[in-house]
Amino acid sequence: MKFIGQVTRPAFTLIEMVISLVVLILCTQLLLVSVRLLGQMTTLANANQQNISWQIGMVQLDRFLEEAYFMKHKTDEGQNKIIFKKQEPDNIYHLKQVKQELVVVSQDEGYMPLIANLRRIQFSYHEPVLSLQGTFKDGTVYQHRCYMEQSHAQ
């Protein structure tokens, strides 16, 4: 029924309003799912990067230890370290954790970083195997074993 003098304007019906709310809710849900997936993918990428970093560091360590001889396993001020000697050049090295890195340090203060973002590194030596266990900041633990003969001339 139309009244005299009343102007009609187009307006949304109840059904159109409900449909627009449903579309808005669906878009919001899709956005939340994609943000959640992005977070999971970032976590997975960081874990893969940590794994690659550990593997590369251990390959570098294995190559560096090819001509090395174990001298002693020592704990100074709560710091765990391995002391070893290389014949060529005749030099003594320390494998230890400095801040959040696993490094090889020479007696003349040469410095070779191997792995970063470590919370803790533990060493154990049972002739002729040197075992390393590294714990990253996120709690991931990696292990590695290398061959290193005992030095008979200490």
Output the pLDDT for position 5: 65
Q: What is the mean pLDDT of the chain?
A: 85
Q: Is the model more confident about 6 or about 46?
A: 46
Nearest-10 Cα torsion for 55, 141, 145, 75: 120
**Which helix (H) or strand (E) element contains residue 29?**
helix 14-64
Phi, psi for residue 53 in degrees, rounded to 5: -60, -45
Mean pLDDT throughout 37-63?
Answer: 90
Task: Determine the pLDDT at residue 152.
Answer: 61
Q: How many CB atoms lie within 10 A of CB 116?
A: 15
- How far apart CA 69 and CA 67 sit, in angstroms, is 7
Within a 10 A sphere around the Cβ of 41, how many other Cβ atoms? 10
Distances (CA, A) of 47 to 21, 59, 145: 39, 18, 21
pLDDT band at 154 (very low <50, low <70, confident <90, very high): very low
Task: Quote the tokens at residue 123.
Answer: 């060493």
pTM over 0.75: no
pLDDT tens digits for range 99-116: 899 999 888 878 889 998
Q: What is the model's pLDDT at position 150?
A: 82
The 10s digit of each residue's pLDDT in 76-86 is 766 778 888 88
